Amino acid sequence: MLKQYLLAPGPTQVPEDVLLEMAKPMIHHRTSEFSSTFKQVTGKLKLLFGTEQQVLMLSGSGTAAMEAAMINTISAEETILVVNAGKFGSRWIDIAESFGVRVISIDLDWGTSVSVNDVKKVLDENTEIKAVFVQGSETSTTASHPIEGLGELIKGYDNTILVVDGITSVGVVDTQMDKWGIDILVTGSQKALMLPPGLAFIALSEKAWKNTETSDLPRYYLDLNKEKKSQIKDTTAYTPAVTLINGLNKVLDNILEEGLENIFKRHEICRLATTAAMKALGFELLASDIPSSAATGIVLPDGFDGVKFVKYMRETVGVTYAGGQDHLKGKILRISHLGYHDVFDTIIAVSAFEMGLKKFGMDIELGAGVKAAQEIIVEYLGEI
Ligand SMILES: *Cc1c(COP(=O)(O)O)cnc(C)c1O
């Protein structure tokens, strides 16, 4: 037997009760039964996003919501600012270039976070900027960006909106769309929301909805006004992902029962335990400014074959981590703390990592990382 442990930052593990919910027979989507579920889900999504706005559900992976954010609010030849600090930051640029949108980017070293002041400087020098596109958590580098501060800043620019890819920050760290002044917030189903891939979520502020009236980029399936018209009436423009939405209803019940504060705390404890373990083992972390609570990126030593390690751990040991992307391929390892993941998943992640290193000939002390992680976790266990 080779038991599989999925410890990568998406797709994440799906809880058993959610799997069972999704195993129920198919129902038709133009029914009061489905609309009733849909209504419950949208109500709970508003709490998750911290917004009074409708949170639209789209069938597609997270990137569908990223694309929808841009094509519904920006026009061809307009200029946007992208915080480009990793694979997903550069995806904003790729989308913009596909639609003829002009891009100014703040290009940062992978692992670093943008400073609010640097964004302010660029905005003040380029008053034509219509929107700032950023990640809440740049999953490819395991670094976060200061979203609350950016929201505060961009509230002061009447003609600029703040668009946040919250795919590994919504449901991981506190993200208050309305209060912080986030104009567009997107996420996806297969990360913190512990569902299979296939659903994307997007909410727009009044300021962002206003842009949709003038933006002229081509759109059909991802036309958010059309979706909004249907979704405020608890139905969708096209056939929704019925099964995933049923599963989501269960996930959101579980999330609200655990409590958002407790969920943020759980992710943070797993991050702190992983960090302590890696430090005890002598590793350097990739995220230097604001580490993300979604995953921890570890810099592998020169000459270490990270690609071979990830493959060996997954295929022979049964533990799935994520490696690095683009120029960090083979050079880093990313250990997730995301979604249906608790402190003992972190212990497995650290323990298997140590054993894998030993197999790969590294001179480390078995148990040193586990012990450091346990010391953090034991503080977090409940009272007797
Ligand atoms: C996973 C991820 C995406 C891409 O989402 P897909 O579901 O693969 O389209 C975008 N941004 C971030 C921050 C992510 O973690």
For ligand 1, whether the C-beta of 69 sits within 6 Å is no
For ligand 1, whether the C-beta of 10 sits within 6 Å is yes
3-state secondary structure of 151: helix
Q: Is the pLDDT of residue 373 over 90?
A: yes
d(CA 284, CA 301): 9
* Whole-number pLDDT of residue 313: 98
Q: What percent of the chain has pLDDT over 90?
A: 99
For ligand 1, whether the C-beta of 167 sits within 6 Å is yes
The tokens describing 1, both together, are: 């037997």
Which residues touch 298 (CB under 8 Å, ≥6 apart)? Answer: 278, 283, 284, 285, 286, 332, 333, 334, 335
Going by their DSSP bridges, the two strands 284-285 and 319-320 should be labelled as: unpaired
> Pseudo-torsion of CA 93, 94, 100, 102, nearest 10°?
10
Q: How many CA atoms lie within 13 A of 316 on its CB side?
A: 10
For residue 11, is the peptide bond before it cis, meaning its omega torsion is within 30 degrees of 0? Answer: yes
* Whole-number pLDDT of residue 382: 87
For ligand 1, whether the C-beta of 60 sits within 6 Å is no
Average pLDDT value for the chain: 98
For ligand 1, whether the C-beta of 292 sits within 6 Å is no
**What is the residue with the minimal CA distance to atom 5 of ligand 1?**
62
The tokens describing 356, both together, are: 């894998």
pTM: 0.98
* Whole-number pLDDT of residue 4: 97
Nearest CA-CA partner of 292 in 177, 149, 377, 167: 167
CB-neighbour burial class of residue 316 (10 A; exposed 0-12, middle 13-18, buried 19+): exposed
Q: pLDDT tens for residues 35-76?
A: 999 999 999 999 999 999 999 999 999 999 999 999 999 999
For ligand 1, whether the C-beta of 336 sits within 6 Å is no
The tokens describing 229, both together, are: 């018209």
Average pLDDT over residues 128-144: 98
Q: pLDDT tens for residues 211-253?
A: 999 999 999 999 999 999 999 999 999 999 999 999 999 999 9
Question: Which of 88, 95, 175 most suits a substitution to test ligand 1, by most atoms within 8 Å of the C-beta?
Answer: 88
Q: Is the pLDDT of residue 6 over 90?
A: yes
For residue 15, is the peptide bond before it cis, meaning its omega torsion is within 30 degrees of 0? Answer: no
* Whole-number pLDDT of residue 355: 98
**What is the residue with the minimal CA distance to atom 15 of ligand 1?**
139
For 65-95, the DSSP string reads HHHHHHHTT--TT-EEEEEESSHHHHHHHHH
CA of 198 to the centre of ligand 1 (A): 11
For ligand 1, whether the C-beta of 89 sits within 6 Å is no
Going by their DSSP bridges, the two strands 295-299 and 332-336 should be labelled as: antiparallel
Question: Which of 63, 92, 141 most suits a substitution to test ligand 1, by most atoms within 8 Å of the C-beta?
Answer: 63
Average pLDDT over residues 112-118: 98
For ligand 1, whether the C-beta of 243 sits within 6 Å is no
For ligand 1, whether the C-beta of 90 sits within 6 Å is no
For ligand 1, whether the C-beta of 135 sits within 6 Å is yes
* Whole-number pLDDT of residue 365: 97
Q: pLDDT tens for residues 328-367?
A: 999 999 999 999 999 999 999 999 999 999 999 999 999 9
* Radius of gyration, alpha carbons of the chain: 21
